[in-house]
Amino acid sequence: IWWLDPELTYGNAKPFVFTQGHSVCNRSFFPCFDTPAVKCTYSATVKAPAGIQVLMSATQSTYLEEEGVYQFYMEYPVPAYLVALVAGDLIHADIGPRSRVWAEPCLLPTAISKLSGMVERWLSAAESLYGPYIWGRYDIVFLPPSFPIVAMENPCLTFIISSILESDEFLIIDVIHEVAHSWFGNAVTNATWEEMWLSEGLATYAQRRITTETYGAAFTCLETAFRLDALHRQMKLLGEDNPVSKLQVKLEPGVNPSNLMNLFTYEKGYCFVYYLSQLCGDPRHFDSFLRAYIEKYKFTSVVAQDLLDSFLNFFPELKEQCVESKAGLEFERWLNATGPPLAEPDLSQGSSLTRPVENLFKLWTTEPLDSAAAASSADLTKWRTFQTVLFLDRLLDGSPLPHAVIKKLSECYSSQLDSMNAEIRIRWLQIVVRNDYYPDLYKVRRFLENQMSRMYTIPLYEDLCTGTLKSFALEIFYQTQNQLHPNLRKTIQQILSQGLNPLPAIDTTAVTTDTPAMVLEDKVSEATNGAISLRDVNVSA
């Protein structure tokens, strides 16, 4: 349960509270069987002060104004982690026949402009693929930057961090992913956290089927290429033999299941589901199977064998061909082998969008550098966000770059990137930090002074503390810590405390010279892993 003082909200007017149950946190909210294997309906009565709007992930709600009492009822069985509550200075607007958006008053116009008419389009596309939307309403509430993840698929009421509003393409993908969870994860749920891919892999597959229907195959392939790049980056960091890269990962006693949630859950799971769809020869045949799967198992929890047995029974010709035992691509190997996916999708339909990225990256990283050719070969202001972040991620992977290259990159793109969304800006600033490019350090300070979310602060602090700029990070943190949620503040303190050995302050015009000494909390017993930043594992729930 996250309690926020008014100053941690956008409006700074009223306190705010929200819950985040995934994966085993709702046991601190109410007594429950906190496992996805158990589902039940629920009702709730909530009393709140006047002026505080209360919402829950429920199909029915009433409000007795004279008593200040809200009553909620979820008529369909759900696992404990999908019970959610939020309360604060929230107002709403309808954005479709069965959807409304809730946000703080200062954010509502932006939310309306981004989503009006869009959610119904996505719901209709999903219904055409996977059958009726069974939850009644699909509402969205935008939460303050303290929300610890990007989005959460609470039934009837998706929670999304407000910070994502400025990044249109990420907002589209995140909402569509949560829409897909209405079928995969919420209606049919993984019975054990050791098989989270049953929700996340299938939801990611369904998300991409929806984006293909609504935005075309090229856009879907571009987004997929961006995510698979991140998967291989994580694979390189973790090592191919790491057990967390299995789809059926072993959950040891005392381990929080959320610690097992990574890009393999999403992208390796997606690749397996995509491989199953390719065995059918036509994705529409696989859509038909998934509709039957949902109809058979809705409101229940399943294990991987349920999905795979249903698949082979639905396609008896594939069962006769023993596709589950195909050499090198055995279903059992997909589930239990470490390392990258056994097969990846053909993304050639996205080449019109990915090829310019590959060409530009090659121009900037080929020696000797022809800066004039590189600078004139592409106009980033006309690119899609996913093209730009894919390009910047690859530059990040190649950092540190030669000083002449980073200097020319800054001359060509720094001012353009200043006006782009936060998903783009944070990547450029990470390049600045990893290359110790002092002329642009003031932009790092300015960015961190205006960000309060984990997704846009942790990656930069990790990079600052990995290199030679820890004292710079300490100064920024000292000046901004009061605007951060205590949980985020503690995480950053842990990052700053690893091998603490403050260096002299970097001499930039943005650095103050009278920063008092700062005392950090004691080191926690479990060190923060600075090698894997949130840039590499930035995922929705």
190-199+212-336: CATH number: 1.10.390.10
pLDDT tens for each residue of 395-441: 999 999 999 999 999 999 999 999 999 999 999 999 999 999 999 99
Fold assignment, 2-182: Zincin-like (3.30.2010)
Phi, psi of 94 (to 5 degrees): -75, 135
Phi, psi of 192 (to 5 degrees): -135, 145
pLDDT tens for each residue of 206-250: 999 999 999 999 999 999 999 999 999 999 999 999 999 999 999
Q: List the binding residues.
A: 177, 181, 200
Neighbour tally for 504: CB within 10 Å: 6
> Could you tell me the residue ranges of all domains in the chain?
2-182, 190-199+212-336, 348-497
Name the band, by pLDDT with cuts 50, 70 and 90, for residue 500.
low
Q: List the binding residues for Zn(2+).
A: 177, 181, 200
Task: Give the per-residue pLDDT at 499.
Answer: 61
pLDDT greater than 60 at residue 531: no
pLDDT greater than 70 at residue 506: no
- Kindly provide the residue ranges of all beta strands, DSSP E only, lying in 48-114, ordered along the sequence: 53-56, 60-64, 69-79, 85-88, 91-96, 99-103
Task: Give the per-residue pLDDT at 261.
Answer: 87
Cis preceding linkage at 497, omega within 30: no
Name the band, by pLDDT with cuts 50, 70 and 90, for residue 259.
confident
Out of 42, 266, 274, 456, the active site residue is 266
Name the band, by pLDDT with cuts 50, 70 and 90, for residue 529.
very low
pLDDT tens for each residue of 82-124: 999 999 999 999 999 999 999 999 999 999 999 999 999 999 9
One-letter identity of residue 486: P
- What distance lies between CA 258 and its chain's CA centroid? 13
Q: Is 120 a catalytic residue?
A: no
Q: Which strand (E) or helix (H) includes residue 26?
A: none
The percent of residues in the chain predicted with pLDDT above 90, rounded, is 89
Write b or e for each residue in 436-465: b if 16 or more Cβ atoms lie within 10 A of its Cβ, otherwise e. Answer: ebeebbebbbebbeebbbbbbbbbbbbbbb
pLDDT greater than 50 at residue 477: yes
Out of 104, 169, 178, 223, the active site residue is 178
What are 377's two structure tokens? 């070969």
Whole-prediction pTM value? Answer: 0.92
Q: Is 266 a catalytic residue?
A: yes
Task: Give the per-residue pLDDT at 298.
Answer: 98
Name the least confident of 18-27, 39-48, 385-394, 495-504: 495-504
Name the band, by pLDDT with cuts 50, 70 and 90, for residue 505.
very low
Query: What is the domain class of 348-497 according to CATH?
Result: mainly alpha
- Measured CA to CA, the distance from residue 32 to residue 77 in angstroms comes to 13
- Measured CA to CA, the distance from residue 340 to residue 237 in angstroms comes to 12
Q: Do domains 2-182 and 190-199+212-336 have the same CATH topology?
A: no
Coil vs helix vs strand at 65? coil
List C-alpha distances in Å: 225 to 221, 276, 354: 6, 19, 8
Helix axes 454-466 and 486-497, enclosed angle (nearest 10): 10
Based on C-alpha coordinates, what's the Rg of the chain? 24
